[in-house]
Amino acid sequence: MSKTVFITGASRGIGAACAVYFAEKGYDVSINYLSSDAKAEAVAERVRLLGRRAHLAKGDVADSSSVCRMIQEAEKELGAIDVLVNNAAISLPQTVFTDVPETEWKRMFAVCVDGLFHCTSAVMPGMLRKKQGSIINISSIWGISGASCEVHYSAAKAAIIGATKALAQELAPSNIRVNCVAPGVIDTDMNSHLSREDMDMLKEETPLGRIGTPEDIAKAVYFLADDSLSGFTTGQVLSPNGGFVI
Q: What's the pLDDT at 92?
A: 87
* CATH assignment of the domain containing 36: 3.40.50.720
Question: Is 191 inside a domain boundary?
Answer: no
Instruction: Check: CB of residue 54 under 8 Å from CB of residue 27.
Output: no
Backbone phi, psi, residue 148, to 5°: -60, 140
Distance (Å, whole) CA 208 – CA 202? 11
Question: How far is Cα 70 from Cα 50, in angstroms, rounded to an integer?
Answer: 23
Residue 178 falls inside a structural domain: yes
- Domain membership of residue 193 (yes or no) is no
Residue closest to 240 by CA, chosen among 10, 18, 5? 18
Mean pLDDT, the chain cut into blocks of 10 residues (246 residues total): 94 98 98 97 98 98 98 98 98 91 97 98 98 98 94 97 98 98 89 75 92 97 98 98 94
* Burial class (CB within 10 angstroms; exposed 0-12, middle 13-18, buried 19+) of 204: exposed
192 within some domain: no
Evaluate whether residue 157 is within a structural domain.
Answer: yes
Domain extent for 40? 3-185+214-237
Q: Is residue 228 part of a domain?
A: yes
Going by DSSP bridges, is the β-strand pair 83-86/54-58 parallel, antiparallel, or unpaired?
Answer: unpaired
Q: How many domains are there within the chain?
A: 1
Catalytically annotated residues: 153
206 inside domain: no
